Amino acid sequence: MKILERYILAEFLKLLAIALLALTLVFIIIDVFENMDGLLHNGVPPGASVSFFLYKIPSIIGQISPVAVLLASILSLSIFSRHGEITAVKAGGVYLLRVLSPLLATGLVISGLVIVMNEYVTPAALKKVDSFKREWLGAHGGTPGREGMWFRTDNGIFNIRQADLKSRRLQGLTLYVIERPFNIKSLVQSRLVVWQDGKWVAPEAAVWNFTPEGAAQKSEAKNLAVEGLVQPEDLASAENIQKNMGIKELWTYIRTLEADRYDATRYRIELYGKISFPLVNFIMVLVGIPFALLRSGRHSGVAVGIGLSVIIAFSYWVVFALTRALGQSGLIMPLIAAVFPDILFFAVGTLLMGHVRQ
């Protein structure tokens, strides 16, 4: 790597570190204000409170890294242009895109690192966050597993395969009614449970009752009230179970759901997104370079660079949210819902690259 390329890369990495730190601090400060009352009310020690917010940092970095990369790309090149350094490079007969190729390579490396972090670090950290909420804040979160989310209540042990809290429906409910010390009194299974009149109701359920001798008696029940299960607002962990899973674990969970004939569209979109979204880091470098260079000159300052970054990031978010909604509603394939924003912005970046003066 030549001196000029190292210089440009060093300035980019410096601004990237500043952007990551600033955006992370903003997220954490907002989170502190949102959780301050709960932490003080429950008497959480300062050390435990700090660890609660630290465990969220990997997830925050995974979300903000594309914006930080975009900011670093546009600001670094805008500053170079403002000081006439880009003009000097062109005047020296240096091929501009070759000089900037380390930025693209760095974007690819960052994408790979985020994928690895989301696979091995983020799920473990988010599980620590859920454990903290159960221990200190009295949350009713469950324990994720390959068979869905598990909940322990006074009534027994619940297993939920899928949760849709907007429609207040649970799919694949299994209830183990336990007697002390640990004897299974009965087993209830229902493919669908809905929230009606302040309680969970299974329109159709299979009930097994076990005698002390070990015999089992099966019966069918209609409109069975499921006692002991927490209210819908306490089941957020069941609805967002995929966020605590890595790619391998989520893929196994999807195969299990589909084998039992449950709709796994939402989880497939999340699975593909665990690869496509980190690649946005590379795409944002590809988009940021031409946007910065096409506005080169004395008017390409920091304020303009930040404004451009906000507009581009917001545009991506709009497309991302739209395709995600279309995919979850079944109007487009899950793979298309996950990768279309990347394909669109990659095409835009490639097209704009062709207009950059060499």
Q: Is residue 170 classed exposed, middle or buried when 0-12, 13-18 and 19+ CB atoms within 10 A define those classes?
A: buried
Q: Is the pLDDT of residue 177 over 80?
A: yes
Q: How far apart are CA 110 and CA 113, in angstroms?
A: 5
Residues 331-343: tens digit of each pLDDT: 999 999 999 999 9
Residues 189-228: tens digit of each pLDDT: 999 999 999 999 999 999 999 987 778 899 999 999 998 8
Q: How confident is the model at residue 296 (pLDDT cuts 50, 70, 90)?
A: low
Q: How far apart are CA 340 and CA 331, in angstroms?
A: 14
pTM for this entry:
0.87
Region of residue 157 (phi > 0: left; psi between -120 and 50: alpha; otherwise: beta)? beta
Q: Where are the beta strands (DSSP E) in the chain?
A: 143-145, 148-153, 156-164, 169-179, 183-196, 199-210, 216-226
Give the number of C-alpha atoms closer than 13 A to the C-alpha of residue 2, restricted to the C-beta side. 8
Is residue 46 reached through a cis peptide bond, with omega within 30 degrees of 0 on the bond before it?
Answer: no
Q: Is residue 131 classed exposed, middle or buried when 0-12, 13-18 and 19+ CB atoms within 10 A define those classes?
A: middle
Residues 67-104: tens digit of each pLDDT: 999 999 999 998 888 888 887 887 777 788 889 999 99
Q: How confident is the model at residue 41 (pLDDT cuts 50, 70, 90)?
A: very high
DSSP SS3 for 221: strand
> What percent of the chain has a predicted confidence (pLDDT) above 90?
66
Q: Which of 58, 134, 143, 77 is nearest to 284 (CA)?
A: 77
Q: How far apart are CA 59 and CA 28, in angstroms?
A: 11
Which residue is listed with tokens 């500043």?
A: 18
- What pLDDT score does 61 carry? 97
Q: How confident is the model at residue 1 (pLDDT cuts 50, 70, 90)?
A: low
Average pLDDT, the chain: 90
| Least confident stretch, 9-13, 180-184, 307-311 | 180-184
Q: Which of 132, 128, 137, 130 is nearest to 39 (CA)?
A: 137
- What pLDDT score does 300 carry? 56
- What pLDDT score does 357 carry? 67
Rg (the chain; Cα; Å): 26
